[in-house]
Amino acid sequence: MAKDLEEQDELDTTEDEESADVVDAEEAEESADEAEERTSADEIEASGSDSDSDEEAEDDERDGETPANVGAALKYVHAAFFSSGILIAYLSSKLLAMIWNELAEWPTATRAVPQLLRYAEDDRGNITLAIGAVIGIVAVIQTYRKETIRRWADEVAGELAKVTWPTRDIVTNGTIVVVIASFIATAYVGILDRLWSFLTNLVYGA
């Protein structure tokens, strides 16, 4: 009887240990699953933060480079306006000088406006040049003050800022290649010319 009780106790103890092992294994699996989920979530958050940081870095880099490029491109736009003003001043002065000289030779105009003959032809050129300079300055200022023209100039500057200009090394290497290719082509054409001249003299000279 006592032996049976001991065996029963041993069986109960074994079952309890097995059930405890099963519970521990299940808890270990659950903790492992939770750890994997947390790791996946951390990886997703890390990748998201990395992508966000990359986008922010690209935006910062773009924002940092664009104003400088646009500022450099605006120099060309302003230079174009300045050149246009000089051209307008030059053409205006020449046109005014031509009109003044024509009117000075017209008797009716000289009788109506005697001041046309007050200055010599050389002096007329200086006066019309000053008037043309004033016309060019006023024309450029009035043109640049227009909203549509200024917006167009900003768009032109933006497009110029997108242009990738070649570096000095690229230009130098390209120039060297062109010079060498031109030299080879010149030598080749010269040799062919000598050859055909020799053959022509050989055939027709005989």
Sequence spans of domains, the chain: 2-162, 167-193
Interval 180-200: pLDDT, tens: 999 999 999 999 999 998 888
Q: What is the DSSP letter of 105?
A: T
pTM: 0.47
Ranges of H-type helices in the chain: 2-104, 107-112, 121-145, 147-162, 168-205
The residues, ordered by sequence, that sit 6+ positions from 72 with a Cβ below 8 Å of its Cβ are 161
pLDDT in tens, 40-86: 666 666 555 555 555 554 554 444 445 556 566 677 778 888 898 99
Count, in order, helices (H) and strands (E) of the chain: 5, 0
